[in-house]
Structure 1
Amino acid sequence: TDHVVSVVGWDAKTDLAVASGLEIDPNFGGYRVNTELEARWTVWLAGDAAFFCDSKLGRRRMEHHHHAVVSG
């Protein structure tokens, strides 16, 4: 079964992630993802809830609607 979970709001709510065994960044919040925005095999995240690796800036999480739009 395929599912889409939409996270909308100011702060990343991590209750679902913790219950699912996904990694949460302890300093900045948000779901830890790899360079492909994959949090776990078959689980991808996009938008400002994702804590991702930027090749130029290192790991980061950007809470801004523009980032949410361009990442998916």
Structure 2
Amino acid sequence: MNPHDVHGKNVMLQDGRGKVVDVSDFLKQEPCQMWDDLKGAYGRFYRPWLSRLPIPEALLNTVRRGYRVWRKSGRA
């Protein structure tokens, strides 16, 4: 299985661990840029700076929308 279509709405937290809740696209063979971007953001921003803070859902949705705009702009 390959990670594909992994984003904040397809992942949930249970007992302190992340769980992927939508694996329907994991059988796709092509690489997923969203997965690479998510891993990079986790290591660069979340883990060192934000892991101890509660993050409001509104902020997560703003980041998600901003990511979509950024990817569509072609600057990624």
With normalisation by structure 1, the TM-score equals 0.26
**Structure with a larger share of its residues in strand:** 1
Q: Which is higher, the Rg of structure 1 or of structure 2? A: 2
**Structure with a larger share of its residues in helix:** 2
